[in-house]
Amino acid sequence: MSNDLQTKQFHTEIVGNNQGSAAQMNEVKSGPRIIDPVFTLEDVSVSYGKYVAVTDVNLQIPSNDITAFIGPSGCGKSTLIRTLNRTNDLIPGASVAGKVMYHDADLYDSKASAVEIRRRIGMVFQKPNPFPKSIYENVAFGPKVNGRPKKSELDEIVEKSLRGAALWDEVKDRLGASALGLSGGQQQRLCIARSLAVQPEVILMDEPCSALDPIATLRIEELMMELKKEYTIVIVTHNMQQAARVSTYTAYFVTEVNPLGDLRTGKLVEYDETKKIFSTPSDPRTEAYVTGKMG
């Protein structure tokens, strides 16, 4: 672990010297270059029809770590996270320009299968969305659609996933009960367990705590810290403290309104280590946001 950390810092320093001028020229601060990134985004814009939701995004997302997207409403952070596992494909008229690389594979390559991508890159949504089935069946859903596991294997996967999501002790005696009877926080952890069950590499979380109370939020945050040992996590959050608490890297987005005032487009302002974003951000807009003067 400590070795990894050193390597990362080392690289960050190098980037600081090397890329500074280029970044200034583009006015896009692509932030730290990350060794062996999971995602590499180059000049990514996402549009819905003619409306550009987010544009000019360049960033790299590290593995086994938590990266947070923050920014005011309408800045395109949710849109962006949804492009990372092609969930945006489901919205009619959505289109992606630029390059979204997952390791060395292009996610938007014509040969790439969205189904396979989503199996590798799981997603937890803003509102807990357990299926109207039993707790067991919720967790077993992913393995079942991805193959025909034996009952004994399935039992094992379900237990492991529920333990992984710190839910096992609360539900082990009522696996057959409806998932809809769980509390909001439990439902969200069930949704996390459900995505763990297909053994993804990445878990995308789109404001996973915005519908939860502070205690449930805390539990999810603790869970995220635990999960990052094995998974890469990208989280969109409205809650700056949350980003500061859990993430290692933070990307700050703003909403730019066109002169007519009828179109809003999200832009990446700054991407860096979280501690830098929250202590000495290089862009005044970031500073205004994280200190609470704006947003």
CB 67 within 8 A of CB 233: yes
CB of 154 to another protein, least distance (A): 14
Q: Quick check: helix, strand or coil at residue 28?
A: coil
Output 116 or 226, the one with its CB closest to another protein: 116
Q: Give the binding site for another protein (CB under 8 A).
A: 85, 87, 90, 92, 115-116, 118-120, 122-123, 125, 127, 129-134, 141-142, 144-146, 176-178, 180, 191, 194-195, 197-198
Output 37 or 122, the one with its CB closest to another protein: 122
Q: What is the C-alpha separation between 10 and 99, in angstroms, rounded?
A: 26
Output 187 or 274, the one with its CB closest to another protein: 187
* Helix, strand counts (H, E) of the chain: 12, 10
CB of 142 to another protein, least distance (A): 4
Output 147 or 292, the one with its CB closest to another protein: 147
Tokens standing for 14?
């190098």
CB 37 within 8 A of CB 63: yes
Q: What is the C-alpha separation between 216 and 209, in angstroms, rounded?
A: 8
Q: What is the C-alpha separation between 194 and 69, in angstroms, rounded?
A: 23
Output 132 or 214, the one with its CB closest to another protein: 132
For the chain, where are the E strands, in sequence order? Answer: 39-48, 51-61, 66-70, 94-102, 105-106, 121-124, 202-206, 232-236, 249-257, 264-273
Output 14 or 145, the one with its CB closest to another protein: 145
Q: Which of 128, 124, 159 is nearest to 143 (CA)?
A: 159
Output 64 or 126, the one with its CB closest to another protein: 126
CB of 104 to another protein, least distance (A): 21
> Rg of the chain over CA atoms, in angstroms?
19
Taking the CB of residue 19, how many other CB atoms lie within 10 A of it? 16
CB of 96 to another protein, least distance (A): 17
CB of 3 to another protein, least distance (A): 33
CB of 128 to another protein, least distance (A): 9
CB of 183 to another protein, least distance (A): 17
